[in-house]
């Protein structure tokens, strides 16, 4: 080699090395520029999609594409800092079906949840935090994990494994973090959109239900409301349970739709033994993690229920019941926004119950008005005509022969008895059939009604004096018991075809007189029922008699001072 050639060799080699360096830098810059263009494209792709499940899967797919990984996944972190969802890309369906279970947030994935900082590994197996793979899981070597933050909260983590370039570089880690930042914005946008759609659906439903409740005059809207709530909340069971006003220690299931509804309706439970106890006492809604834990034996269908909302509702100042909205154990749990919407629906449940009660009251008042009109017509027209007929007959009897006059007077007696019976009927039809009256007159008529079918003819009842005004609740109970005992003895022993009952309130005494046309008094001492009547009268300082009637049969008289 000549001297000139040796002098030229050094500079040539240095130039070629420098040129290669510039080429490599240029390729690196071009690659970075291409990745930046891809990242900008990804930004547009992710932020333009507002469907949350689609966004989550698309983030993983883009991560595989940008960072050249074979497998990718996203773990969504739940309330207990464990994986609530695990979206994976790269494994075929057959491989997934052979794996016993997907990751639950332990080992290396759990470490990233507990300490949300980027992790890049050349070998997963070499890391102390790795817990290995389950059977049939494909082998994975290199690993990148980066947290995805939504505002100040870690939403989840992006996991990428098995780099197609052999291992992940620092640039790959930086790009993964940039993708995670974009993912956080996309997830937040999708969440806000989904939340607005969710609230719009509930608000529309609430408006429709309100309009229906306000416009409907007939029909039970509570069934429609409960079914609508089940659809909106995507629930498996919705039930309405009420606390009776006269027994606040008990709760009764009034309505239910969904899983096991038929076995629940009309069931009653002690409040203290149910999950409704605390919400009823505090007036605050609660979320139950597993309703199955509270399902008693015999409620197998309810044992499949998991997360549930227990929402109390009120009428005025009183908490009258609870609304229970439940999902099956394998369904997503309810969120606080679900409770907010459920509370709004619970208010409509109260309104539906109030309107149902108003309709029942209105129908009852209409029925009572009709009955009052009929009673008024009977009193003003029928009784007056009978009374006038009786007077005319009485005048005719004055000029008739004795035999004819006796027959006429007998018919006048029958007319008087008919007038008395019509007056009793007038009182009966004026009573509210949907309520139990506590008046003495009403109790007497109820007792007589119960004796129908036990005697050949219905007993004839006559009231004299202000019996309802003089009898308080205690005396009403005693008088009712005395009449029940007297009638029972008549039915069992007298063999009577006719029974006349007179209840009077005269001169500070309330008296019951029962007269029958039976076989007579018989052995008074053998009748234990008569002894009960005597004791009951003596306890109030009154008197009791059981004597033969003037026309045959028996006359029983029970009288106490007021």
CATH topology (fold) of 223-352: Beta-Lactamase (3.30.450)
Q: Which range is least confidently modeled, 208-212, 297-301, 458-462?
A: 297-301
Structure confidence at residue 432 as a pLDDT band (50, 70, 90): low
CATH topology (fold) of 437-562: Heat Shock Protein 90 (3.30.565)
CA atoms within 13 A on the CB side of 483: 30
Q: What is the pLDDT of residue 42?
A: 59
Provide the 3-class DSSP secondary structure of residue 84. strand
Q: d(Cα 274, Cα 272) in Å, to the nearest integer?
A: 6
Q: What is the pLDDT of residue 160?
A: 92
pLDDT over 70 at 156, yes or no: yes
- Give the 3-state DSSP-derived string for 457-504, with helices as H, strands as E and coil as C: CCCEEEEECCHHHHCCHHHHHHHHHHHHHHHHHHHHHHCCCCEEEEEE
Structure confidence at residue 15 as a pLDDT band (50, 70, 90): low
% of the chain beyond a pLDDT of 70: 81
Q: What is the pLDDT of residue 198?
A: 82
Q: Which of 12-26, 204-218, 362-376 has the highest mean pLDDT?
A: 362-376
| DSSP-assigned letter for residue 494 | I
- Range list of H helices, 146-259: 170-215, 221-232
Q: What is the pLDDT of residue 526?
A: 47
pLDDT over 50 at 448, yes or no: yes
Q: d(Cα 143, Cα 147) in Å, to the nearest integer?
A: 14
> What mean pLDDT, rounded, does the chain reach?
78
The edge-to-edge listing of strands for the beta sheet with 237-242 is 268-270, 250-258, 237-242, 318-328, 305-315, 286-288
pLDDT over 70 at 51, yes or no: yes
Q: Which CATH architecture has domain 29-194?
A: 2-Layer Sandwich (3.30)
The domain ranges of the chain are 29-194, 223-352, 437-562
Structure confidence at residue 472 as a pLDDT band (50, 70, 90): confident
Q: What is the pLDDT of residue 26?
A: 53
Provide the 3-class DSSP secondary structure of residue 406. helix
Q: What is the pLDDT of residue 522?
A: 61
Q: Which range is least confidently modeled, 34-48, 276-290, 513-527?
A: 34-48
pLDDT tens figures, 128-140: 777 777 777 888 8
Does the fold of domain 223-352 match that of domain 29-194?
Answer: yes
pLDDT tens figures, 391-427: 888 888 887 888 888 888 888 888 887 877 777 676 6
% of the chain beyond a pLDDT of 90: 5
More confident residue, 39 or 291: 291
Q: What is the pLDDT of residue 436?
A: 44
Q: What is the pLDDT of residue 296?
A: 57
Task: Taking residues 257-284, report their average pLDDT.
Answer: 81
More confident residue, 268 or 301: 268
How do 143-150 and 119-121 pair as beta strands? antiparallel
Q: What is the pLDDT of residue 435?
A: 46
Q: What is the pLDDT of residue 191?
A: 77
Question: What's the helix, strand, coil split of the chain in %, to 5?
Answer: 55, 20, 25
pLDDT over 60 at 267, yes or no: yes
pLDDT over 60 at 8, yes or no: no
pLDDT over 50 at 75, yes or no: yes
Q: What is the pLDDT of residue 38?
A: 58
pLDDT tens figures, 225-238: 888 888 888 888 88
Q: What is the pLDDT of residue 387?
A: 80
Task: Taking residues 502-523, report their average pLDDT.
Answer: 84
**378: burial class by Cβ within 10 Å (0-12, 13-18, 19+)?**
middle
């Amino acid at each position: 080699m000549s001297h000139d050639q040796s002098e030229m060799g050094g500079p040539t080699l240095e130039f070629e090395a420098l040129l290669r360096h510039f080429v490599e830098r240029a390729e690196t810059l071009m690659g970075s520029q291409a990745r930046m263009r891809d990242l900008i494209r990804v930004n547009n792709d992710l932020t333009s999609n507002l469907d949350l499940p689609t966004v989550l899967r698309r983030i993983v797919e883009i991560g595989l594409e940008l960072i050249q990984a074979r497998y990718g996944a996203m773990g969504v972190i739940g309330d207990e800092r464990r994986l609530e969802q695990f979206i994976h890309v790269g494994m075929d369906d057959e491989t997934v079906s052979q794996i016993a279970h997907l990751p639950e947030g332990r080992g290396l994935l759990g470490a990233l949840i507990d300490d949300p900082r980027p992790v890049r590994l050349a070998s997963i197996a070499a890391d102390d935090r790795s817990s290995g793979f389950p059977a049939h899981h494909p082998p994975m070597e290199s690993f990148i994990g980066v947290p995805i933050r939504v505002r100040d909260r870690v939403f989840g983590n992006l996991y990428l494994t098995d780099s197609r370039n052999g291992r992940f570089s620092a640039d790959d880690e930086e790009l993964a973090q940039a993708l995670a930042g974009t993912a956080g914005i996309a997830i937040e946008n999708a969440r806000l959109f989904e939340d607005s759609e969710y609230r719009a659906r509930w608000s529309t439903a609430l408006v429709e239900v309100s309009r229906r409740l306000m416009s409907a005059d007939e029909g039970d809207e509570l069934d429609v409301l409960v079914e609508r709530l089940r659809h909106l909340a995507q629930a498996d069971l919705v039930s309405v349970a009420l606390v009776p006003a006269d027994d606040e220690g008990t709760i009764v299931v009034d309505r239910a739709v969904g899983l096991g509804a038929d076995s629940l309706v009309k069931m009653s439970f002690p409040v203290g033994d149910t999950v409704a106890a605390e919400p009823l006492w505090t007036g605050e809604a609660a979320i139950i993690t597993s309703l199955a834990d509270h399902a008693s034996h015999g409620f197998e269908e309810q044992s499949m229920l998991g997360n549930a909302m227990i929402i109390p509702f009120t009428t005025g100042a009183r908490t009258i019941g609870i609304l229970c909205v439940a999902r099956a154990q394998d369904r997503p749990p309810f969120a606080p926004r679900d409770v907010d919407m459920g509370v709004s629906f619970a208010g409509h449940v109260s309104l539906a119950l109030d309107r149902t009660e108003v309709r029942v009251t209105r129908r009852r008042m209409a029925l009572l008005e009709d009955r009052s009109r009929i009673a008024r017509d009977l009193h003003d027209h029928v009784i007056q005509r009978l009374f006038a007929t009786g007077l005319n007959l009485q005048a005719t009897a004055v000029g008739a022969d004795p035999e004819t006059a006796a027959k006429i007077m007998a018919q006048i007696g029958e007319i008087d008895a008919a007038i008395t019976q019509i007056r009793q009927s007038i009182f009966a039809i004026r009573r509210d059939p949907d309520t139990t009256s506590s008046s003495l007159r009403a109790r007497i008529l109820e007792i007589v009604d119960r004796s129908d079918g036990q005697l050949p003819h219905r007993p004839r009842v006559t009231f004299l004096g202000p019996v309802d005004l003089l009898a308080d609740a205690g005396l009403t109970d005693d008088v009712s018991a005395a009449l029940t005992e007297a009638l029972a003895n008549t039915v069992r022993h007298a063999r009577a075809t006719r029974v006349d009952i007179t209840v009077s309130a005269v001169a500070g005494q309330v008296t019951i007189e029962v007269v029958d046309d039976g076989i007579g008094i018989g052995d008074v001492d053998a009748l234990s029922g008569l002894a009960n009547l005597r004791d009951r009268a003596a306890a109030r300082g009154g008197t009791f008699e059981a004597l033969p009637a003037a026309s045959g049969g028996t006359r029983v008289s029970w009288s106490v001072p007021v």
